[in-house]
Structure 1
Amino acid sequence: MSTGIRWRLSLMMFLQYMVWGAWYPVLSSYMERIGFSGLQIGVIYSLLPVGCMIAPFIGGQIADRYVATEKLLTMLHLSGGVLLCLMAGMGSYDKLLPMMFAWSLVYAPTLALTNSITFHHLPDAEKKFGLVRVFGTLGWIAVGLMLTGLRKIWPEPQGLFGLGGADSLWLAGFLSLALGLFCIALPHTPPARTGGSPWAFLSAIKLLRDPSFALFIAIAFVVSTELMFYYVLTAPFLQTIGIASDNIPAVMTIAQIAEIGTMIALPWMISRWGIGKTMAIGIISWPIRYAIFAYGEPTWFVVAALTLHGLCYVCFFVVSFIHVNSVAPPDIRASAQAFITFVTLGAGLYVGSIFAGWIRDYYTVGQVVDYTKVFIVPCVLTVICAIVFFLSFKEKKQPLQAEYQGEVG
């Protein structure tokens, strides 16, 4: 593979996550300011997880059977760019809801498609994929800094083009259009004409017959629901402790910087402590972060707690995928990965979005949100998850093949 192709794939990842990162961490504070309820904000944030659950039935099947991947990415991102730009001018829940759902349906498949086109063209992809994927995290960081810069030039409440906090949607739309045009230059990736079944992940359900694995999946689901307290509520919470709205996009990139640092350290952590202890570090970091958020002061300490996102996300979620890959029989490893993705980043984030919004409303009196009580909820739930994990998790040295050979696949 030429260096040019690798850099094109890296730039693709950079722009792919710029589109998502432009609005995802900060749109909730804008929606809160224009009068959306917590439940309405949660529903808006739940739409992308819904898209991720539907995505295997859309993008993957089309790319596998009918359309070259780079052409499908071009069509999806150009369509998504138009939808995002239109959403920037919509200030009501009734108008934003269907448009966000439509965007989620066209964006969610691109998450898997950008991975698949990278694996297709990257030699020794298992070892080198991370070197390309890290550009996605760098893109998330870059767009946060870019949005802060734009808000310094065009401060809220007017904002860029008079859009106020919706400038994040306009920026995401512009980046999506740019990415759509760039995808034309991606290496040709023809359809295989023989796509796998979108229901393939269901073959991994039989792994739940192992009690330890079933309990692990249950813990992963609950923890993933609590992730949305971070994504849905952190931006408006930071404003209440004195962080200016134009600085919030840049401040929240601290989490992604910590994520990169943790990813770099992850191979050393796993080799030194093993999968079980590394996941334990990740899961105990969740209640620590939310306890600091619940206490809410001093401001510098709360901001410093954003660095725990690296341990929370990488040491639990990334290592969870590694764990599933190690315990699943070789013939259903792909299905097992699809299954845990569906449970955590699909169903878990969907339930968590709505739950976080509902909790925010429950602890709101007279337009004032009691964030201490709000963040106590995920703190308690993740403490329970940590206790159950410590008492029940058993690190298996061999795949669950002996128990299920002939029954799965």
Structure 2
Amino acid sequence: MESTEMEKSPHKRLGAMFLLQNAVWGAQVVLLSGHLAELGFSGLQISYVLATASLAALCSPLLAGWLADRFWPAQIFAGWSYLACAPLLWLAWLQTEFAPLWGIFLAFSLLHAPTMGLTNAIAFRHIGDMGRYGRIRVWGSIGWVGISWLLSGYLRLWERAAPGQSHLGDGLLIAGGLAVLMGLYCFSLPHTPPEREKGKALAFVEAFGLLRQRDFAVLMGVAFAVSAMSPFSYNFSFIFFVDPVHGPGFAASSASWILSLGQLAELPLIPALGWLIAKMGLRWTVCSGIVAAAVRSLVLAWGEPVWLLVASQALNGYYIACFLVAGTMVVERLSPADLRASAQGLLVLCIRGLGPLLGHGLAGWVYDGNALAGGGRDWQTIFLVPGCVLLAGALCFWALFRGPPADGGAGRR
């Protein structure tokens, strides 16, 4: 009877799934750019390591979505993926040279990338009412904020106990432990068997056919451009905030806390996402999320005052809620039931794969090309590039996206 009751009310379990998933992700990525910079990596090398996630997203999510749509229960696939990730994260912690670290991160990313689409597919299958997705997905934000603050406190302890030592790489150790916990937890999630009939064509091939829909194609195209700008922020914001000469010069523990403000802003936004979409429509909601990302980059390019630089990080939460999360809801509405896992994988291909893959190379090149003679970086130029591109992306989405007929106002002008 207890098992039956849990199957009837899966929302808490799905919320815990997103919490653990984002804790694993946050633990390994929040401090990574700072760790790599301390190892002496160049901007391009930092970007190449972080770009392994984008390389993996070119193939892993679509393959995983196909398997989940046709053969393997999604929660089993996700569980084994996380368990395999753990030893790779621990091995990465031991590395100090670029080549072996890059190879380990590529292997990790090939296993980790599919889990993004799989957890969305599990959630959408079991929540019943789409309006509840935001209230469940917000636990992912809580997981990211929680691990960011724990890492901040951990670094603060070391800053006081041993000021000359760096422990930025320890996030990889913590992420490995959390990956084991997440992997085991996935096996307890509601059963999510394939919906696809095995006699039909490959689901992920058919998912590309959705690009014939105008709105689906517009979403994917803009998602590609917008996500190409994300490496500027994710790769170098931490380095900017700890720069003592040309940046604010915060301690590493404080920079970790500041960067978590975006996820903190998600906490009220994601549960209210259904209400926002009902009031604004999908078109305006998604467009406003892109504008928020643009404003954040432009504030960092402006460079002062310090309080505004810190406050602007909250805009990342609005971007995540109103573009990234709302984007998965757009995909869910535009795709048929038997292609949804593959369609979510296609979205991951754009926002975690193709777009960032281009962006990592561009961001690393811009970062290295704006080194100053006396040391440090020309942060104004570095952050001005994504700010301008994001504004152009918002304009394109507003002009071209109409919204599915069922959306209450997505097509408003």
Query: TM tier, shorter chain?
Result: 0.7 to 0.9
2:19 corresponding residue in structure 1:
14
Deviations 1:214-269 (A, max 9, x none): 55543332112112212111111111212210222222111011123222333333
For 2:311 and 2:142, locate their aligned partners in 1 and report how far apart those are by CA, in whole Å: 20
Q: Partner letter of residue 200 of structure 1?
A: E
For 2:340 and 2:224, locate their aligned partners in 1 and report how far apart those are by CA, in whole Å: 19
- Find the partner of 1:227 among 220, 227, 230: 230
Unaligned runs of 5+ in 1: 400-409
1:112 corresponding residue in structure 2:
117
- Find the partner of 2:130 among 126, 146, 151: 126
Residues 337 and 168 of structure 1: is their aligned pair in 2 closer, same or farther, counting only changes over 3 Å? closer
Q: Matches of residues 118-197 of structure 1 in structure 2 within 5 Å? A: 118-120=123-125, 122=126, 124=128, 126-155=130-159, 164-189=167-192, 194=197, 196-197=202-203
For 1:126 and 1:387, locate their aligned partners in 2 and report how far apart those are by CA, in whole Å: 27
Residues 157 and 283 of structure 1: is their aligned pair in 2 closer, same or farther, counting only changes over 3 Å? farther
- Find the partner of 2:354 among 347, 350, 366: 347
1:243 aligns to what SS in structure 2?
A: coil
Q: CA deviation at 1:370?
A: 1.2
2:168 aligns to what SS in structure 1?
A: helix
Unaligned runs of 5+ in 2: 407-413
For 1:333 and 1:244, locate their aligned partners in 2 and report how far apart those are by CA, in whole Å: 44
- Find the partner of 1:314 among 315, 321, 324: 321
Residues 68 and 98 of structure 1: is their aligned pair in 2 closer, same or farther, counting only changes over 3 Å? same
For 2:380 and 2:186, locate their aligned partners in 1 and report how far apart those are by CA, in whole Å: 45
Residues 205 and 294 of structure 1: is their aligned pair in 2 closer, same or farther, counting only changes over 3 Å? same
TM-score normalized by structure 2?
A: 0.84
For 1:144 and 1:10, locate their aligned partners in 2 and report how far apart those are by CA, in whole Å: 18
1:237 corresponding residue in structure 2:
240
Q: Matches of residues 24-35 of structure 1 in structure 2 within 5 Å? A: 24-35=29-40
Q: Is residue 50 of structure 2 the alignment partner of residue 45 of structure 1?
A: yes
For 1:57 and 1:397, locate their aligned partners in 2 and report how far apart those are by CA, in whole Å: 24
Q: CA deviation at 1:61?
A: 4.2
Of 127-136 and 150-159, deviating more is: 150-159
For 1:312 and 1:389, locate their aligned partners in 2 and report how far apart those are by CA, in whole Å: 14
Q: Do 2:156 and 2:253's aligned partners in 1 also have CA atoms closer than 8 Å?
A: yes
2:387 corresponding residue in structure 1:
379
Of 73-82 and 297-306, deviating more is: 73-82
Residues 152 and 112 of structure 1: is their aligned pair in 2 closer, same or farther, counting only changes over 3 Å? same
2:91 corresponding residue in structure 1:
86
Deviations 1:124-156 (A, max 9, x none): 153434333222221111100111111122239
Q: Do 1:205 and 1:339's aligned partners in 2 also have CA atoms closer than 8 Å?
A: no
Q: Do 1:26 and 1:248's aligned partners in 2 also have CA atoms closer than 8 Å?
A: no
Q: Do 2:134 and 2:272's aligned partners in 1 also have CA atoms closer than 8 Å?
A: no
Residues 55 and 157 of structure 1: is their aligned pair in 2 closer, same or farther, counting only changes over 3 Å? farther
Q: Partner letter of residue 96 of structure 2?
A: G
1:404 corresponding residue in structure 2:
none
Q: Do 1:159 and 1:165's aligned partners in 2 also have CA atoms closer than 8 Å?
A: no
Q: Is residue 278 of structure 2 the alignment partner of residue 275 of structure 1?
A: no
For 1:394 and 1:95, locate their aligned partners in 2 and report how far apart those are by CA, in whole Å: 43
2:212 corresponding residue in structure 1:
206
1:402 corresponding residue in structure 2:
none
Q: Do 1:65 and 1:194's aligned partners in 2 also have CA atoms closer than 8 Å?
A: yes
Q: CA deviation at 1:361?
A: 0.9
Q: Is residue 110 of structure 2 the alignment partner of residue 102 of structure 1?
A: no
Q: Percent identity?
A: 30
For 1:204 and 1:135, locate their aligned partners in 2 and report how far apart those are by CA, in whole Å: 30
Q: CA deviation at 1:21?
A: 0.6
Deviations 1:280-329 (A, max 9, x none): 32232233211210121222110000111123232233344444555668
For 2:70 and 2:281, locate their aligned partners in 1 and report how far apart those are by CA, in whole Å: 40
1:395 aligns to what SS in structure 2?
A: coil
For 1:330 and 1:182, locate their aligned partners in 2 and report how far apart those are by CA, in whole Å: 26
For 2:188 and 2:336, locate their aligned partners in 1 and report how far apart those are by CA, in whole Å: 38
For 2:394 and 2:185, locate their aligned partners in 1 and report how far apart those are by CA, in whole Å: 44
Of 65-74 and 377-386, deviating more is: 65-74
Residues 339 and 87 of structure 1: is their aligned pair in 2 closer, same or farther, counting only changes over 3 Å? closer
2:267 aligns to what SS in structure 1?
A: helix
1:155 aligns to what SS in structure 2?
A: helix
Q: CA deviation at 1:123?
A: 5.1
